[in-house]
A and B are shown apart, each in its own frame.
Chain A
Amino acid sequence: EVQLVETGGGLIQPGGSLRLSCAASGFSVSSNYLSWVRQAPGTGLEWVSVIYSGGSAYYADSVRGRFTISRDDSKNTLYLQMNSLRADDAAVYYCARVPSTNPGYFDSWGQGTLVTVSS
């Protein structure tokens, strides 16, 4: 069974840094594309970043230069390093798997981890 479990969220001051983790089971992160999607309170879904199986990484304009996606194949875990956090980065962050056979959608999602940015 495919499972994704995010951790690392919490309260952080503006300008601070936070690293989110997403532990995967039931499949290998090295063989799949993985993504981060966020949802600010009471709003819709916003794509943040994707990392391909070959290691190429892509970002939404809103986070490029501040966020870094990576993975540790030995731990079967995905990460999101978030720097220079702003109030509008506050959201529930979901990790999601993208099928390598079709990069067009997210077929499995974690339960999400909440990031609050406030002084």
Chain B
Amino acid sequence: EIVLTQSPGTLSLSPGERATLSCRASQSVSSSYLAWYQQKRGQAPRLLIFGASSRATGIPDRFSGSGSGTDFTLTISRLEPEDSAVYYCQQYGNSPRYSFGQGTKLEIK
């Protein structure tokens, strides 16, 4: 089973700054099968990025994904107050089996 570890656990930044969120896999993950989600308090998760770097429909270009193998990154440029949320990475593997990282909480000061 592939384990995803996200860092940092919590990130506190100001509006206009850039956020860099990391997702590290215990084994190599196909880039086609790495996704990122945003979950605001009391809401369902929302797909941000799929295929490691493709933005989902309606997602602003401030959100970008990159990486390959075991190291993936979600970057949010020009932070806005509404970006305050928990962000999860997720991978899909054989069996089939899906797994999520434990999440990174992003606080906007």
Contacts and interface: CB of A to CB of B under 8 A. Distances in A.
Interface in B81-109: 88, 90-92, 95-103
Q: Contact residue range for chain B?
A: 20 to 34
Given A94-B45, A112-B44, A46 B100 contact: yes
A107 B95 contact: no
Nearest to B31: A104
A47 B47 contact: no
Interface string B27-62: 000101111010100011111001100001000000
A50 B45 CA distance: 17
B106 to A, nearest CB: 15
Given A105-B90, A107-B56, A44 B51 contact: no
Contacts of A35: 98
A118 interface: no
Contacts of B32: 102, 104
B47 A106 contact: yes
Contacts of A105: 33, 35, 47, 50-51, 90, 92
A94 B95 CA distance: 21
Interface of B: 30, 32-35, 37, 39, 43-47, 50-51, 56, 88, 90-92, 95-103
